[in-house]
Structure formats: C-alpha cells, structure tokens
Amino acid sequence: MDQQRQQKYLAYGGGVFLTLVILIIYFRVLSFDFLIYDDDWLVLDNPYIKSLSLLNLFHILLDFTRETRVLLGAEYLPLRDLVTAFDWWLWQGRASGFHLTNLVFYLGCCLLLYRFLARQQVHPILPLLGALLFAVHPAHVES
C-alpha cells in the first residue's frame, strides 16, 4: 500500500474515531430538557420562532425595533434565530430534537476542524489530537 493511500485511510479512521468519541461523550444530551437559563425566552416563549412565516422571517432578519430585539435576545443573531425557528418547525418544541440539531452541528464543526488540520503538513496524529481537544474542551459547555 502506497503512502498516500495509507494517509487517506488514517484520515478517514481519525474522522470515524473522532465521531465516535463525540457521540459517546455528548449522546446523553438527547435525554435532557430545556435549560431554565435562556431557553424559556429564546425558544419556549418566543413568538417569532414558532412559525416560519414571512412576517416572522421579516422580524428575525430585518426588524430592528426595540420590542423585536428584546424578544430575540437584545442582539442581532439572525442565523441562531433562523436555526431555532427551523428547529421549532422540525421538532415542535421537543427538547431532544433541538439538542440533536446542535449535536449534529457540533460534530460537523469538529470534523471540519479535523479536516482542516489534516491538510496541514504535520505528523498525522496531531490533527486528531487537536480536534479531540477542541471537541472535549469544557469551554464549549453553556451550563
């Protein structure tokens, strides 16, 4: 087996290993409920994310009035609000679905980081170690 093919298999194996580690560590989140911290006003009591109507999309993307911004967290984060609205449409308020969406996004970010690091001219184990450190670092926990 030539060296290029061996590196390709090593990169795929690292991605599979990274995926398994992330799923083992974070899979429990699917059984958790919403947090009291900010999920009540951001998700449960937010009228703008309960429907993907054109009016709600306008409020999320283009309405900068004080009332709207306060309902959406007093900040302009349209991607977060659109994803939350899509989650509501998809999961109908089930916390496990929201957590699954976030887990999939997080897994994707970790795999993208691993892929980026793997393209650098470094020892093959370093990208995996860097991505694992990123994936399990407690700074990414919001509780």
66-100 core/surface letters (b: 16 or more CB in 10 A; e: else): eeeeebbeeeeeeeebbbbbebbeeeeeebeebbb
Give the pLDDT band of residue 142 (cuts 50, 70, 90).
low
- pTM recorded for the entire structure: 0.85
- What is the structure's pLDDT at 124? 81
For 3-50, the pLDDT digits (tens) are 777 777 777 889 999 999 999 999 999 999 988 777 888 888 889 999
